[in-house]
Amino acid sequence: MSDAANSEGTFAPSKDFVDQANVADASVYDEAEQDFQAWWESHARKLRWMQDWDTTLEWDPPYAKWFTGGKLNVTDNCLDRHVEDGYGDQVAFYWEGEPGETRTITYAGLLTEVKRFANALKGLGVRKGDRVTLYLPMIPELPVAMLACARIGAPHSVVFAGFSAQSVVDRVEDADSNILITADGSYRKGNVVPLKESADKAMNDTDKIEHCVVVKRTGEDVAFTEGRDHWYHELIDEADDDCPPEAMDAEDILYLLYSSGTTGKPKGIQHTTGGYLTQVTATYHLVFDHKPDTDVYWCAADIGWVTGHSYIVYGPLANRATSVMYEGAPDTPDKDRLWEIAEKYGVTILYTAPTAIRSFMKWGTEYVERHDLSKLRLLGSVGEPINPEAWLWYHEHIGGGNAPVVDTWWQTETGGIMITPLP
């Protein structure tokens, strides 16, 4: 156990960590308590606004409107401003497919792809305010599609790729969406998951979908309906890369995300543009102590859940993060796949769930010990309470007894981290 732990079971970060930390003392709490509106306003000022807001907060419990009158675009903040500042060649995503293929996507490359797909969506008739349903695996085209929607002001509704055709139908009909973006398939535990087949079943059970865009991921033969189905790569090849970002009101909807529906009808949660982006940008910077020039960050979650929306896509990109994305299972082809990837890309910040940590514990430290994880300097936990045994194992065996652990609590409804230690 680390020397930083005392008899009361507290674990202090090292002096070196504290000396370089984004939050090194308790003043951040004092400032927020003294004037929370001014505190959030100071973080909103770090974003790029197309028009300043009139009112920081309109509070009519339980309803809050943030930065009313202000206009901005999420993709302008996540992509354009970084490229304009000279960081176009910085890696936005290191992506690895389960079979082992890799892609490296820079901020400039991501911006170009987003612009092209945004224009492709416009060509299919998508306009500001239209809802677009995304049913995609963990491939780069998923954040591209989300950002393309955000660029033109079309709220996206991401459906977890592990959900059934009926789940797609429920969400399409509730959102009144007429565009579906999916893939021919994906890989999971060495098998091809026939995603387009599920999408076709969904489209047979609803008359809402007018256009279906299909990403060619596996190369498997899939049914294709002329006039309705379109290959993603063909749309991208034909699209122009000039697409200015739409000026969005701070209170315009950025996305819809539905509850799982395990206890009833799925409930759609809306997150707006200005307040949400301010929250995830600030919390990512503060909670993960992110250093954009040196850190490699990995949130080992799925974008189909809110964790992925906020802390794979929007929060990290707004902070100019370099992130890792992985398509498949953590035990394919062997139980050290996560640690192999972490070593390969030099991951410095890892954010995962207690359920995953308990699986790693059960598999044993032999898989961890195959790899050099010495670059990891901060660990995070999300999704459920973490039991003490898992926390200690995570801290000791993954963090080397030195990396602080931030155990975060929040919900789909909150959009971002609400309760957490700061490292």
If pLDDT is split at 50, 70 and 90, which confidence band does 265 have?
confident
pLDDT given at position 3 = 44
pTM across the whole model: 0.96
Each residue's pLDDT tens digit, 285-296: 999 999 999 999
Q: Is 235 among the domain residues?
A: yes
Q: Is 211 among the domain residues?
A: yes
Q: Is 413 among the domain residues?
A: no
What is the rounded distance in angstroms from the CA atom of residue 294 to the CA atom of residue 3? 26
Q: Is 394 among the domain residues?
A: yes
- Report the domain count for the chain: 1
Q: Is 421 among the domain residues?
A: no
Q: Are strands 253-258 and 268-272 parallel, antiparallel or unpaired?
A: antiparallel
CATH code, 303: 3.40.50.12780
99: three-class secondary structure by DSSP: coil
Each residue's pLDDT tens digit, 404-422: 999 999 999 999 999 999 9
Each residue's pLDDT tens digit, 342-394: 999 999 999 999 999 999 999 999 999 999 999 999 999 999 999 999 999 99
Each residue's pLDDT tens digit, 82-99: 999 999 999 999 999 999
> Which residues, in sequence order, are CB contacts of 333 under 8 Å at separation 6+?
190
Long-range contact pairs involving 200-208 (C-beta distance under 8 Å, separation at least 24): 201/165, 202/135, 202/165, 202/166, 202/168, 202/169, 202/172, 203/228, 205/165, 205/166, 205/169, 206/169, 206/172, 206/173, 208/172, 208/173, 208/176, 208/177, 208/178
- The DSSP bridge partners found for residue 253 are 272
Q: Is 111 among the domain residues?
A: yes
Q: Is 121 among the domain residues?
A: yes
Range of the domain at 282: 15-407
Go through 60-78 and write b for each residue having 16 or more CB atoms within 10 A of its CB, e for each that does not. Answer: eeeeebbbbebbbbbbbbb
Q: Is 196 among the domain residues?
A: yes
| Residue 131 contacts residue 175 (beta carbons within 8 Å) | yes
| Residue 102 contacts residue 95 (beta carbons within 8 Å) | yes
Residue 287 parent element (H or E): helix 274-287
